[in-house]
Amino acid sequence: MSKDIRIRKGLDINLIGAAEQTTSKAVTSNVYALNLDDFHGITPKMLLKQGEEVKAGEPLFYNKNKEEMHFVSPVSGELVEIVRGARRKILTLKILADKTQDYVINKVPDLDTAEAPAIKNFLLQCGGWPFIKQRPYDVIADPDVTPKAIFISAHATAPLAADVDYVLKDKEQELQVAITALGKLTPGKIHVSIGRSSRSPFVDIKGIELHKVSGPHPAGLVGTQINQIDPVNKGEVVWTISPQDLLILGELLLTGKFNAERTIALAGSIIKSPKYYTTKIGAEISTFLYASGVKEDRFRLINGDVLTGTKTHTEGHLGFYNNTVTAIPEGDDYDLFGWNKPIFNKVSTTRALTFSWLMPKKKYDLNTNTNGEHRAFVVTGQYEEVFPMDIYPLQLLKACMVKDLDEMEQLGLYEVAPEDFSLTEFICISKQPHQQIIREGLDLLQKELG
Amino acid sequence: MKEKLHQLKLKYQGKKMAPAFNALHTFLYTPNDTTHSGGHVRAADDLKRTMNTVIMALVPCLLFGMFNAGYQHYSAINGFPENFDLFEHFLTWDNFWLGLVTVLPLVIVSYGVGLAIEFLFAVIKGHEVEEGYLVTGMLVPLIVPVDTPLWMLAIAVAFGVVIGKEVFGGTGMNILNPALTIRAFLFFAYPTWMSGDKVWVHGAVDRAGTADAISGETVLGFLAQGNASEISYTLSDMFYGFIPGSVGETSKLLILLGALFLIFSKIASWRIMVSAVIGALTMGLIFNGVVEAGWLPEYSKFYELMSFDFWKHLLVGGLAFGIVFMATDPVTGSQTNRGKWFYGFFIGLLSVMIRVFNPGYPEGVFLAILLMNVFAPTIDHYVVRGNIKKRLKRLKTATIYPKNSDEVDSLKTETA
């Protein structure tokens, strides 16, 4: 039995430079790096010192608040640098990779007989756990809590995002193993959403409830799907995991090896030949960026898609959760009378002398210009047009800004993650930082109540 | 030019005058700001574009108002033309010139005083100059009588901008519509200049009491005084706007076009406009019904206005202008889509009610909108409550599994 989801409110942003569906193997990276900002809310405690040798899959550090939760190295080599910031906060761990990779082989629990605690312990010890995130708060899941359901979105609608069906092709075995294991961690269901006309490998997977999603972005965001299928109430917890990470979990459960290999999409108007690469978590982006070539020297390089990704640079490394790397032009230039002349080359939801409504199929070359200055909230009723959840977005944002915990709770902050506000942020006339506001709201709520 | 301004911007950065400079700079060039948090791309619209769209919708009303100022003036002196011809009698150079010299000063004073205060506050408070006043400054000359003394307008604008907006924190924070605050200030401070039969036609006040005295009563003025039979204007006069009234409010055709433009460009809320029209028609129908049922004696002072055909209310006075350009102000109106229906409906309803029952001044739309401005947060509160209740109802069936850490277990045994 499956419930189909049809999203009407939303906006597809068509950009130039979608990745062509061919995969190359990226050049092996010399140095791998874990960016600790990827693990929001985790206070790391190092298990290794600078200069020590590490195997692939060997724990590098653990979560200070949950000692069993290990974070492992994607490759074997030498921990060459622990980059620290203000107040000695660890920012990045850099590992100089060995020529031949040496893996830790973990003892795999027997999935037929293993109970939830055994699987949990295995994932926590072997570095598979951080892939599982939870709502509320959009952080790495708390292993002490049993979720009411697990949600997986296998349908990407974000601009230039990697095509999930393509990335998962012929990986049924890993998916099935990972799903079976996850299924033991919740008494509820595992909801998997696929595109309406997709040929997803999930069709044949057992132990899931399949949903077919259609409609514009954010139909593919897991938050939208949760809201449609089984919204999070106060006190409830759901887990989310992205399908590409299921592959790593699957292989971990099959072979006992933490294989950080991942197929990623390199996309964006700056890239000469955008396509897919197989590489590893933490690899230098330059190992595949220049294989595809760039059209300009100055551009914005993004770990992730243009709406939710994090800014990086050509010496940066692939993020822990990312399967897309996007490069778009920087927009740090002035535009003469940009506020009143007719605009044909930018996306807009209004028709105030902006003409993207005339050409819904046109692909755009957007840059990073904000197209205006930051202002107080003025216009109303616009966010609702691209926000399909049963939540009042403007009111929730304002509740977060004034730090009103009661309002935040009542208006549904438990149900959302910052990424759910990426589209309202995109169309915001007042250029408010919606995702940051929601992130700070979630952090505050977790600190006070979580 | 671009480079020089950029250098200047860097020079002013962090200085006290930076907001003032940036306001002028961003007027010329959309700034070179790039995204630094959250998403990396942004849509094309900003607040300047939004406000500019409203101004574009207002320009036809302003131009028409200029022609009409001249037309009403000359017609009051020479009598209305027998066979009216648009190009021969209305769109003439004489009319336009007279309109220009009477209306343009209003526009200049409104913008000059208002923007000066905006700049002053921006510099003092160190925030950017906000665009809200671009629309307010345009609305103000359109909703005042043509001969409003400029000093009066300047005082009212200063009051409206400071008390109506800046004390709350500027654009986006105000409770009352600033343009209507200005209008209300004028109305209550200088009532003789805001109503009667002398203020709607240029020159009528100066000539009052002389042999050349002229006058021009609005349709509503005739009705309020029970002189419906003296109305010489046809329905098409009212629709096209060849009647006395505030500068920009007379032409319902151009207001309608402006409304369609604003709805099409998705800048103004169609929900508010539609519901306000429904509200006005409803109240008009109720009054008509009361008259038809014979509950109201003919000598009643309300008789004329209450028996005025319900749909004609939209054609006279400032109701249409108020609904399209003032009620739809997103800052002071309801912010939820459902709330907008109630908000608009009551504006329409109250406008016609005030119009009929207020003997002193037969125009109620500005009071109705100001009143609903005050109630808009209350409406939103109940709409949002509905959403919260739905969420609380869902909570009853929530599946919450106990946390398997020791702390929770011990708590449980204690309570058990």
Please write the tens of the pLDDT for every residue from A121-175.
999 999 999 999 998 899 999 999 999 999 999 999 999 999 999 999 888 999 9
Q: Is A37 in the same domain as A21?
A: no
Mutate to test the interface with A, among B5, B8, B27, B35 (most CBs of A within 10 A): B35
C-alpha distances in Å from residue A65, one per residue of A9, A60, B405: 40, 16, 13
Q: Which residue of A has its CA nearest to B170?
A: A376
Instruction: Tell me if chain A has a CB within 8 Å of the CB of B147.
Output: no
B240: its two tokens? 């096209």
Rg (CA), chain A: 22
Classify residue A444: in a domain, yes or no.
Answer: yes
Q: What is the pLDDT of residue B75?
A: 86
A230: its two tokens? 């089984």
Q: What is the pLDDT of residue A1?
A: 47
pLDDT band at A391 (very low <50, low <70, confident <90, very high): very high
- Inter-chain CB proximity B265 and A307 less than 8 Å: no
Which of A450, A445, A446, A439 has the alpha carbon at shortest distance from A404?
A: A445
Q: Which residues contact B264 (CB under 8 A, 6 or more apart)?
A: A351
Maximum Cα interatomic distance, chain B, rounded to a whole number of Å: 99
C-alpha distances in Å from residue A336, one per residue of A226, A351, B20, B29, B135: 44, 20, 18, 4, 21
Express each pLDDT in B298-338 by its tens digit: 777 788 888 888 888 888 888 999 999 999 999 999 999 99
Instruction: Tell me if chain B has a CB within 8 Å of the CB of A450.
Output: no
Place of tokens 């400029």: B150
Q: Taking CB atoms and an 8 Å cutoff, what residues of chain B touch A233? A: 391, 394-395, 398
pLDDT band at A332 (very low <50, low <70, confident <90, very high): confident
Q: Is A150 in the same domain as A243?
A: yes
Q: Which residue of B has its CA nearest to A376?
A: B172
Interface of B with A in 39-78 (CB under 8 A): 39-50, 52-53
Instruction: Tell me if chain B has a CB within 8 Å of the CB of A358.
Output: no
Q: Is A194 in the same domain as A49?
A: no
Identity at B339, one-letter amino acid code: G
Instruction: Tell me if chain B has a CB within 8 Å of the CB of A356.
Output: yes
Q: What is the pLDDT of residue B253?
A: 94
Instruction: Tell me if chain A has a CB within 8 Å of the CB of B265.
Output: yes
Instruction: Tell me if chain B has a CB within 8 Å of the CB of A121.
Output: no
Instruction: Tell me if chain A has a CB within 8 Å of the CB of B251.
Output: no
Q: Which residue of B has its CA nearest to A436?
A: B38
Identity at A199, one-letter amino acid code: R
pLDDT band at A359 (very low <50, low <70, confident <90, very high): confident
Q: What is the pLDDT of residue B413?
A: 47
- Inter-chain CB proximity B46 and A366 less than 8 Å: no
Q: Angle B336-B337-B341 (CA atoms, 0-180°, nearest 5)?
A: 110
Q: Is A127 in the same domain as A216?
A: yes
Q: What is the pLDDT of residue A450?
A: 67
Q: What is the pLDDT of residue A3?
A: 73
Domain count for chain A, please give it: 3
Compare CB distances from A351 to B38, B265, B399 and report the shortest one's residue: B265
Q: Taking CB atoms and an 8 Å cutoff, what residues of chain B touch A371? A: 30, 42-46
Q: Which residues contact B405 (CB under 8 A, 6 or more apart)?
A: A144
Q: What are phi and psi of A388, to 5 degrees?
A: -80, -5
Give the separation between CA B14 and CA A165, rounded to whole angstroms. 51
Low-confidence ranges of chain B (pLDDT < 50): 406-416
Q: Is A399 in the same domain as A271?
A: no
Query: Under a CB-based contact definition with an 8 Å cutoff, are residues B57 and B258 in contact?
Result: yes
Compare CB distances from B29 to A336, A367, A428 and report the shortest one's residue: A336
Q: Is A194 in the same domain as A235?
A: yes
Give the minimum alpha-carbon distance from B355 to chain A in angstroms, rounded to a whole number: 29
Which of B59, B51, B61, B54 has the alpha carbon at shortest distance from B318?
A: B61
Give the separation between CA A264 and CA A280, rounded to whole angstroms. 9
Q: Which residue of B has its CA nearest to A422?
A: B39
Indicate the Cα dihedral angle A95, A97, A98, A100, nearest 10°. 130
Q: What is the pLDDT of residue A18?
A: 92
Q: Taking CB atoms and an 8 Å cutoff, what residues of chain B touch A353? A: 49, 53, 265
B254: its two tokens? 């151009």
Classify residue A116: in a domain, yes or no.
Answer: yes
Q: What is the pLDDT of residue A397?
A: 95
Instruction: Tell me if chain B has a CB within 8 Å of the CB of A373.
Output: yes
Q: Which residues contact B230 (CB under 8 A, 6 or more apart)?
A: B217, B222
Query: Under a CB-based contact definition with an 8 Å cutoff, are residues A301 and A312 in contact?
Result: yes
Give the minimum alpha-carbon distance from A157 to chain B in angstroms, rounded to a whole number: 15
Q: pTM for the whole thing?
A: 0.91
Q: Taking CB atoms and an 8 Å cutoff, what residues of chain B touch A378? A: 47, 50, 132, 171-172, 330-331
Alpha-helix residue ranges (DSSP H) falling in A48-185: 116-126, 164-168, 172-183
- Inter-chain CB proximity A307 and B132 less than 8 Å: no
Instruction: Please give the average per-residue pLDDT across A408-435, as a whole number.
Output: 92
Identity at A97, one-letter amino acid code: A
Q: What is the pLDDT of residue B361?
A: 62
Mutate to test the interface with A, among B1, B10, B30, B379 (most CBs of A within 10 A): B30
Alpha-helix residue ranges (DSSP H) falling in A313-421: 393-401, 405-410
Stated as kind and residue range, the H or E segment containing A149 is strand A149-154
Give the separation between CA A381 and CA A393, rounded to whole angstroms. 10
Give the minimum alpha-carbon distance from A399 to chain B in angstroms, rounded to a whole number: 12
- Inter-chain CB proximity A367 and B41 less than 8 Å: yes
Q: Which residues contact A406 (CB under 8 A, 6 or more apart)?
A: none
CA atoms within 13 A on the CB side of A286: 8
Share the mean pLDDT of chain A: 91
Q: Look up the ipTM and state it.
A: 0.89
Stated as kind and residue range, the H or E segment containing B391 is helix B365-395
Indicate the Cα dihedral angle B184, B185, B190, B193, nearest 10°. -50
Q: What is the pLDDT of residue A44?
A: 92
Q: What is the pLDDT of residue B410?
A: 46
Q: Is A293 in the same domain as A237?
A: yes
Q: Which residue of A has its CA nearest to B31?
A: A334
Q: Is the pLDDT of residue A295 over 80?
A: yes
Q: Is A322 in the same domain as A180?
A: yes
Mutate to test the interface with B, among A120, A312, A333, A339 (most CBs of B within 10 A): A339
Q: Is A438 in the same domain as A313?
A: no
Q: What is the pLDDT of residue B360?
A: 63
Please state whether A330 falls in left (phi above 0), alpha (psi between -120 and 50) or beta. Answer: beta
Coil/strand/helix, residue B326:
helix
Instruction: Tell me if chain B has a CB within 8 Å of the CB of A342.
Output: no
A29 DSSP assignment: P
Q: Angle A41-A45-A51 (CA atoms, 0-180°, nearest 5)?
A: 130
Identity at B64, one-letter amino acid code: F
Instruction: Tell me if chain B has a CB within 8 Å of the CB of A394.
Output: yes
Give the separation between CA B170 and CA A377, rounded to whole angstroms. 11
Classify residue A347: in a domain, yes or no.
Answer: no
Q: Is A159 in the same domain as A219?
A: yes
Strands A20-25 and A310-312: unpaired
Instruction: Tell me if chain A has a CB within 8 Å of the CB of B337.
Output: yes
Could you list the residue range(s) of the whole structural domain that residue A150 is in? 1-26+107-330
Compute the residue count for chain B: 416
Instruction: Tell me if chain B has a CB within 8 Å of the CB of A410.
Output: yes
Q: What is the pLDDT of residue B195?
A: 78
pLDDT band at A20 (very low <50, low <70, confident <90, very high): very high
Which of A318, A296, A433, A420 has the alpha carbon at shortest distance from A365?
A: A296
Q: Which residue of A has its CA nearest to B396?
A: A233
Share of residues in chain A with pLDDT > 90 (%): 74
Instruction: Tell me if chain B has a CB within 8 Å of the CB of A337.
Output: yes
Give the separation between CA A338 and CA B48, rounded to whole angstroms. 9
Share of residues in chain A with pLDDT > 70 (%): 99
Q: Where are the domains of chain B?
A: 1-29+46-267, 269-395
Identity at A44, one-letter amino acid code: P
Mutate to test the interface with A, among B9, B22, B42 (most CBs of A within 10 A): B42
Instruction: Please give the average per-residue pLDDT across A235-247, as a whole number.
Output: 93
- Inter-chain CB proximity B49 and A340 less than 8 Å: yes
B407: its two tokens? 């702390």
Which of A347, A345, A333, A9 has the alpha carbon at shortest distance from B42?
A: A347
Q: What is the pLDDT of residue B223?
A: 79
Compare CB distances from A351 to B172, B266, B340 and report the shortest one's residue: B266
Classify residue A192: in a domain, yes or no.
Answer: yes
Give the separation between CA A374 and CA A372, rounded to whole angstroms. 7
Q: Is A295 in the same domain as A248?
A: yes
Tell the burial category of B414 from Cβ atoms under 10 Å away from its Cβ (0-12, 13-18, 19+): exposed
Interface of A with B in 236-295 (CB under 8 A): 236-237
Q: Is A149 in the same domain as A283?
A: yes
